[in-house]
Amino acid sequence: MVYSFISIKKFSDEPYSKILGYPKATNRQIRSRINELEKLKIKSISLIGPTTLGNLAILGKGYVGVVVLAKKGSKQVALKIRRTDSQRNEMKNEATLLKLVNTVNVGPKMFVASKNFLVMEYLEGIKIIEWVNLLEGKGSAKKLKSTIRKILEDCYRLDQIGFDHGELSNISKHVIIGKTKSTLIDFESSSTKRRPSNVTSVTQAIFIGSGIAKKTQKIYKNPSKEKIIKILKQYKQEKTRESFEKLLKILKL
């Protein structure tokens, strides 16, 4: 898709400056951030996406930052901008975590980071809840199963490296389904110090929770909650490929 981009020089003025220094920044902070973007070779930003800041469209907003579509050279990228009220002092820790998940082919590719910015692969797609809503009428069980399996495989790989995403129980905000790729996103609450529960969290969110679970049930008949919980307990204790395969079998994936 072709998007229109605005030069970052224009982001020193309202209303665009609101994005670079959300929720509140001084002129000096904004100028400093524009210099930082120039060093990262970010030339322009496109105001598109399902979320809004004021009346400006963006890709997403979280506790740590806001995400927009940007251009690094001629390449479209996702740019995460640290909020001025964030409890995180910089973005480099999140960049390190993203690099780690990239080693097992999970998440958007991490390109470069600085104090206030994280530049990563832009994945065009929609959130999983919207995708399931679109599938619901068509009842495409095969498509749903292959996508869920791919997400669970990603979660299994994270479990194996002792990495916990931290927010997968709220799956609707943290999985993007694209035309060519579905992936976990937003690793700002992740940790390698907690016991990982990625497979468990996603399985519960998709098959036992309320929102998506009710919709997947309409597309294909899921096993009983009791069966799923039993096999999840086993997986939780062992975290082996064998116990993971048993889980996939129970889930008919």
**Tens digits of per-residue pLDDT, 169-195?**
989 889 999 887 899 999 989 999 999
Q: What's the token pair of residue 247?
A: 């889980």
Alpha carbon distance 46, 79 (integer Å): 10
pLDDT at 31 over 80: yes
41 or 140: which carries more pLDDT confidence?
41
Does pTM top 0.75 for this prediction? Answer: yes
Strands (E), the chain: 6-7, 42-46, 51-53, 56-58, 60-61, 65-72, 75-82, 110-113, 117-121, 125-127, 175-178, 182-184
- Name the DSSP letter for residue 196: P
Match 């709220």 to its residue by tokens: 170
Q: What is the mean pLDDT of the chain?
A: 94
Residues listed for the chain: 253
Alpha carbon distance 36, 11 (integer Å): 13
Angle in degrees, CA 216, 163, 152, rounded to 5: 20
pLDDT of residue 139: 66
Angle in degrees, CA 248, 97, 190, rounded to 5: 60
Where is 224: in which H helix or E strand? none
- Checking DSSP bridges between strand 175-178 and strand 51-53, what pairing results, if any? unpaired
Helix (H, G, I), strand (E, B), or coil: what is residue 211? helix
